Structures are given as C-alpha cells and as structure tokens.
Amino acid sequence: MRGPHNIWRLVRTGATFERTGAMGAVLEALDAPAPIRLAARVLGWPFKWLGLKGDPNVPPVPRALTALGPAYIKFGQILSTRPDVVGPDMALELQVLQDKLPPFPVAEARRVVAEELGGPLEETFSAFSDPIAAASIAQVHRATLAGSGRDVAVKLLRPGIERAFKKDVDAFHLIATLVETLSPSSRRLRPRDVIDHFEGVVMQELDLRIEASAAGEFAANTADDACFVVPAVEWNMSTRRMMVLGWAEGLPLSDLAAIDAAGHNRAKLGATVLQMFLRHALRDGYFHADMHQGNLKVAPNGDVVALDFGIMGRIDEYTRRVYAEILMGFIRKDYRRVAEVHFEAGYVPADRDVGEFAQALRSVGEPIFGMEASKISMGRLLAYLFEVTERFGMETRTELILLQRTMVVVEGVGRSLDPDLNIWAVAQPEVETYIANAIGPKAIARDLFRTASVLSRFGPRLPQLAEAALIAQAHPVKPIPPSRWPERLAIGFGGLAVGLGAALIWALF
C-alpha cells in the first residue's frame, strides 16, 4: 500500500494540524529544525481548508490527533509518556487521549459479541453493560456470565479499525522517509525503523488473541508476586476481535480522593508500582509497557491490579544484566564501571576513550544525585544517559526506548501517589536482588551448567566433529590460483546470463 498515493494522507495531516492550531505547538515542543518547519508549513498552510475540523472543545494537539484516526491517537498516547521529548505541558495535554475517547454504540458491541460467539449474546451473558472504557483501538464492557453469575470484562476491537490503522501507518512511513531526507541528523534515530517497530506492536494489538496470550504469560510470571494481580483469561470466549478476562474490582490509581477515602497507603502503592515494574523487567525480561493510571487499579485489599496487555516489552537476558549493572553503577556512583559495561556490551565503539566516557557519565549522574529525593528521576537519568551515549556513537536500540518511556510512565504514577517518593531507595533492593541472582556465584554456576547441557546434546557427534576438524586442518582447501580467476568469472557471468534469459522467456510466454 505504500507509495505516492500517501501524499494525500500527508497533506491532510499537515492541513489538519494547521486548521486545529496544533502545528505551531508541535513544532515548538519538538524543537524541529528549519527544514522540517518549512516542510510542515508547506504541507499545512496552503491546504488548511482540506484539514479535519475535530472537536473545538478539545485542546489543539489532541483535537488534531483524534480527528486523524487511531494510529495518530496511539502515537499521541506514547508522546504523553515522554515529557522529556515534548515537554511537560504538551505531555499533560496529550493525556486526555489515554482513556477519554468516544465509545462506539452498545448495539454495535452486542452485534460483534454475537458474531464472535457464534450465537445470541444472551446464551453466554446474562448482563452486558454500556462501555466503561474506550480507547483508540478497543473498548471494554462489564458482563455477567450466564449460569455462574461471575462478572467479567469484555474487550472488543472497534469496527473497521484494522483498515483505518493500515492507512494511517502507510502515511507514517512516508513521513519518516521525509524526516530522514530533510533532516540528516535524525537518521541516527532511525525513524523508519521506529515506525516498523510501532507497526509491529500495534498490529499485535489488533489481534486480541495475542493480548490474551500476553495476559496469560504475564499472569504466570507474576503469580507469586505479593501485592500484584493479573486477571485470569477466559480462553473459551476469547477470539481475534474479543477478549474476556475475570473482572477486577478496585479503584483507578488516578482517583486519589477515593484512594484516600478507602484508607489505602499511597506511599506503599507508589513503591509497589515502581518495584513491580523493575522486578518484571529485570527478573522476567517481560514487562507491562503501558503502566499509566488508566491501566492500574488498587483492589479492596490494597493489591495493585494490572489491566490492558496490548503493549508488552521484552528484554533478552544479556541486556538485562548489562542495564542492571549500569543502574547499580549509577546508584553506587561508580562511573568507571558504568563506562566499562557500555564498552563490554559493544554499545559504544571500542575506539573511544573509556576515561572520557566515564567523565561524561559523571556529568550525567552527579547533578541528579545532588537533587532532593523527591526530584530524582530514573527516567531523566536514562534520557541524559542516551544523550551522552549518542555523542560517543551509540546507536538507538528500540527495546531500550520502550524501557525508558515505560520508566517515565511508572515514575509519573509513583510520584502522583507519593510526591516524596525516593526513586533510588525504592529501586535499589530490586536491582541488588537481580544482580545477586544474575551476576553472582550462583549465576556463574548456572551459566556453566547451561553450557554443559548444550554441549552434552552434541555428545554423540563430538568424535565426528573432531575428526572433521582434523581432516580440514590436514587438507586445507586450496584457493583458486589468481590466473584462473578470469576463467571462473566468465563462467559465473555466463551462467547468470543464461538464467536471466530463461527467466525472461518464461515471463513472456
């Protein structure tokens, strides 16, 4: 679908941003370079009349994104978690996109449920509510199972969302190409790769069976975690367009007044959210990557309940060890070790100076540690760290961007519950526990055992492999004499010509 026809989508995007008054705000918030500003104005101002009007009662940028469609809304949701990129004012303005979108009619929802179940809704559910939450891709209803009387949450994709999303993402690919062309300095960030990653993530969100599987895996990983709950999946009723989970009673973490009235300890809740995120990211390498207040509840007994598993993050074991060492190095102010870890992992080119890099890292850590506990931010540390590593040649790693932006969200949730939350004091036990298990003597023994287990599978073949290696050493393959290269090249090109000729004849006849 990608091609010149997306120019219309691009023009309408610029026109909509211009018509809603969002263009200037976005360019200013992103500190866009002159070529990007010029291109945006060229695509916006002359065609302003072609732009979508949107809801005049909504602030300009959310108004434009909501009018343009689901993929734009999803990007807005991601930017709302990145105040380090768009600034705190714009991030706050974009938060309206998280859970306050208009739902589609309940009659349409009942029709979708009947289609997915292959029969009347009433045969499965004795009660089915109006929408209780609506987002860019799906909405949620509360229902009661016929017979058992148990309450469940029913999540349904918006009608026609797949086609609308694909059209939007096509335009994003064109926009990313233009950004790389007009602003060469942006190529290090690989905008097109970021769009590819974004497309992959949301395409999974468009199949609720994938989200149900994510919920099941996440529930299995966290089954023994105190004070943290993941609702159970109702597999027999979950399909591509519908997912059914056990109902989780509780208060949204955004409702501070209700939390206080219920007598919950907000400081403990803030610490639990942060510690659970770190535990899941480091211990399991699988974490909830959309942990804003709309996706978290506090149960009547004080447990934190996680919802909405459309965006999950994975980190391989080696990367987890590297970043645990980096975090621990900052906590201990051992900047030399932090620098060495970057070089050992290959994140920074080997021709750079370790001492200079350690000095640059000190310039990142010391100002942050000099702040009051209530102002220390791990998300800010990661943002500053990426700035320094960029200067030393480190390329953007998509999985770490997801980790960083989730860290920013989690910190925001924790600080909303407890403004005096000491991020380092809360994080240190989790990081130390992981390092003790992943890098200490037990981890070395475990790694050696795994290596031995892998080698043991090749046991029956080891004699043949050794013999083949000895024969290869005793009778090395002789290189083609230089004098015969022209002959071999001629034969190779002749064969290629014959193959292409045959393919052409086949295509024509």
Annotated catalytic residues are: 290
Tally DSSP H helices, then E strands, for the chain.
Answer: 22, 10
Residue position matching structure tokens 């690919």: 173
371 to 356, 413, 417, 483: CA distances (angstroms): 24, 20, 20, 71
SS3 label, residue 508: helix
Q: Which two tokens stand for residue 431?
A: 């990081």
Buried b (16+ CB within 10 A) or exposed e, 113-138: beebbeeebeebbeebbebebbbbbb
Q: Which of 337, 321, 315 lies closest to 439, judged by CA?
A: 321
- 438-444 contact pairs (CB < 8 A, 24+): 438/282, 438/317, 438/320, 438/321, 438/324, 439/321, 439/324, 439/325
Q: What percent of the residues of the chain are helix, what percent strand, and what percent coil, each to the nearest 5?
A: 65, 10, 25
Residue 343, Cβ neighbours under 10 Å: how many?
16
Q: Say how far apart CA 337 and CA 325 lie, in whole Å.
A: 8
- Bridge partners (DSSP) of residue 244 are 154
Q: Which two tokens stand for residue 214?
A: 């994510």
Q: Which two tokens stand for residue 128?
A: 């089915």
Q: Are 208 and 241 in contact (CB under 8 A)?
A: yes
SS3 label, residue 127: strand
Q: How many Cα atoms are found within 13 Å in the side-chain-facing hemisphere of 53?
A: 3
